[in-house]
Structure 1
């Protein structure tokens, strides 16, 4: 049973939504974020990445940077760029990419559901990344970027969403990257009740993307509970901003790997070692994208190869059976000496949205070797989460990305 409740949103004026909406803070490096803010002064990145308001010698993690984020948020409200709703509502958020749509419900999830594992995780978080967003949320007194949650499709919620989508939208725009974003407000008591009860009837919710944001929001909530020992559980700090999508609408793309060297091996010896665990089929110069599980595309010295895992290394275990685990356990670690991909500087990760040509480009420039992965499925993500296990890093790449700044949750 999951508690997902409506909230009083802070949101852009309707004619400015396209200007304000920004990709998540963590898809940009500092220079890219600055370029975006210079190009679009209303971009929400000036709040999510407030270091863009300072010279490059100021650390993004200084207190003055988080204070600037708070001030920018308050200024946008005072200027009427952002509006505060008077009554709580759910919102319906549709994204369309390349003709494929997915529609989620925007509401606030309970931190107790996170703590009690009703909201399930599949990824380990890093403390330094948590601290950054804890400081940001706490200083801004608001959650500015939604957590991407998934649930098993529910008929009553689907029907309510379909009904709401027949109304006129609040926002409807196509972003510069070609993704169309449409948002409807679901403020009637009947719609609110149907959606609320639908999630009450849902046993499990899964974090698809945004583990650090979720963990940070929860820790801010716990911090405020400590500061308010008489809390009732109904205060806004007990909930965090989320967009919840039914599982059958989601697309997980491949999350690929590039490696800097062959760990001292020549090509022939490297391929011999790979052949101990994988059947190798040389494909030549034509890029090879894996067609099914337990297959990996490999690019080395101008040629593509298909690697097919030997039957004896394929596992039914939710984690060990993932293709990213097969690559890690039988090639990256034993052959290339990459034991911790989170920290090893010899490996980098490339989202599937960038395509196979990006893998070739990297392998022909700053790297030597590239691996094209078959995408992890949403069912595999659920299986890992249900088993209480964790995926290897960079196992899933979700597209399209939610925009920050369209809907903001104030904590008090």
Structure 2
């Protein structure tokens, strides 16, 4: 992988900590994030908002270009990563693998934002097999006091700015030994950057080894627009699954691949994948053979009849489902980070919202600004 240092836009520590702790962090997103109905006027407002945050002192550019070590610490443990710029050529040459399908229209919207506003407020999350040299360098750097720390309701975010050219060169050399990585989060941003003709051919990325990532499932909640009978639904899924009732009607939370749960007419069922259907990931089979083929729900990201619930909101999801007798739930087992690497390497593309990857970073924690063309809006 080809990486390099950059001058980051860093937030004022007191101001950003206040945003996180006061619940006002979403205001920052509303100022800067690309909107679904993007226009030149809205893009210009994004740019003006960014400029005002810089002139107002809420953000400042680092004096020296750096490669950044990032740590996120909470009750579940610590996650370490390397925050840097990565060459888009690595994506074009398939050194950066995707595991999730993208929507062309969404990627095009992000391309327009990148071309006109030029702000990368969140990195693309990349994962790779553990590399001893990168681990050793990361551990050595993190022995010192961090340059920046922010707290967010039980989560601590620390950043070490590596500005020493010798250590930067060691990190750059270490990453040349990493031949292939997988996108864990940020498929559309990577696709959008690769679509841009000309301009800066680098993208903000956070590298986290697969052993440092945690992955949980996204479950599917459906509210069909037509009556669904038990006989009809079970007839549609029985070619692929063995169906049995859950003992005492307990919720089914799958633990391993090949197991799914079904909540239908306020009853829970266990679904066991039949051997004839085990040649593709559970979430792909569910999407293609059940959600698309039977319910005509082709896009989990945009279909209003479907909601994708991350596993960390399990209790809320169960409570929500109980409020409507017509609600249908399909629950899935998590896909491990190592399994994601294997699937990406073998060419599998999962449906959108298939995995919930952590760490999740606060928007605007560390930003990268590209050179852009000037917008003239009258």
TM-score, normalised by the number of residues in structure 2: 0.88
Q: Give the equivalent residue in structure 2 for 1:29.
A: none
Which residue of the other structure, out of 190, 199, 213, is the alignment partner of 1:250?
Answer: 213
Residue number among 198, 203, 221 corresponding to 1:223 in the alignment: 198
Match of 1:207, SS?
Answer: strand
* Structure 1 residue 343, shift from structure 2 partner: 5.8
Match of 2:185 in 1: 209
- With over 3 angstroms needed to count, the CA separation of the structure-2 counterparts of 1:308 and 1:357, relative to structure 1, is farther
Partners of 1:120 and 1:204 within 8 A in 2: yes
Q: CA deviation at 1:187?
A: 1.7
CA distance in 1, matches of 2:315, 2:283: 17
Separation in 2 of the partners of 1:11 and 1:238? 22
Contact 1:134 1:217 survives alignment (8 Å):
yes
Pairing 1:179-328 to 2, within 5 Å after superposition = 179-220=155-196, 222-224=197-199, 237-261=200-224, 264-283=227-246, 284-315=248-279, 320=280, 322-328=281-287
Match of 1:383 in 2: 342
Aligned match of 2:90 in 113, 121, 130? 113
What is the deviation of 1:69? 1.3
CA shift, 1:365, in A, is 2.9
Question: For residues 265 and 399 of structure 1, what CA distance do their matches in structure 2 show?
Answer: 36
| Aligned positions, number | 370
1:28 maps to which residue? none
Question: Would the aligned equivalents of 1:108 and 1:239 in 2 still touch at CA under 8 Å?
Answer: yes
Q: What SS class does the counterpart of residue 84 from structure 2 fall into?
A: strand
2:17 aligned with 1:18: yes
Alpha-carbon distance in structure 2 between the residues aligned to 1:337 and 1:411: 41
Which blocks of at least 5 consecutive residues in structure 2 are unaligned? 372-378
Aligned partner of residue 44 in structure 1, secondary structure: helix
Match of 1:134 among 99, 105, 111: 111
Give yes or no for the alignment of 1:45 onto 2:29. Answer: yes
- What CA distance in whole angstroms lies between the structure 2 residues aligned with 1:80 and 1:342? 37
Deviation readout 1:93-121 (Å, 9 max, x if unpaired): 11234322211100001011111111111
Runs of 4+ in 1 over 6 A off after TM superposition: none
Matches within 5 A, 1:143-154: 143-154=120-131
Classify the secondary structure of the residue corresponding to 1:254. Answer: strand
State the 1:398 CA deviation.
Answer: 1.1
8 Å Cα contact 2:11/2:59 also seen in 1: yes
Q: CA deviation at 1:287?
A: 1.9
Using structure 1 for the length normalisation, give the TM-score: 0.82
Q: Deviations over 1:348-387 (max 9, x none)?
A: 3222221154145136339521011101222232123212
Distance 1:333-1:129 versus aligned 2 partners, 3 A rule: closer
Higher mean C-alpha deviation, range 290-299 or range 392-401: 392-401
Structure 1 gap ranges (5+) = 23-34, 52-58, 225-236
**DSSP 3-state at the match of 2:108:** helix
SS, match of residue 384 in structure 1 = helix
SS at match of 1:169: coil
SS of residue matched to 2:359: coil
Map 1:160-179 → 2, pairs under 5 A: 160-176=137-153, 178-179=154-155
1:55 maps to what in 2? none
Q: Give secondary structure in 1 for the equivalent of 2:307.
A: strand
8 Å CA contact 1:299, 1:360 repeated in 2: no
1 CA distance for matches of 2:228 and 2:31? 47
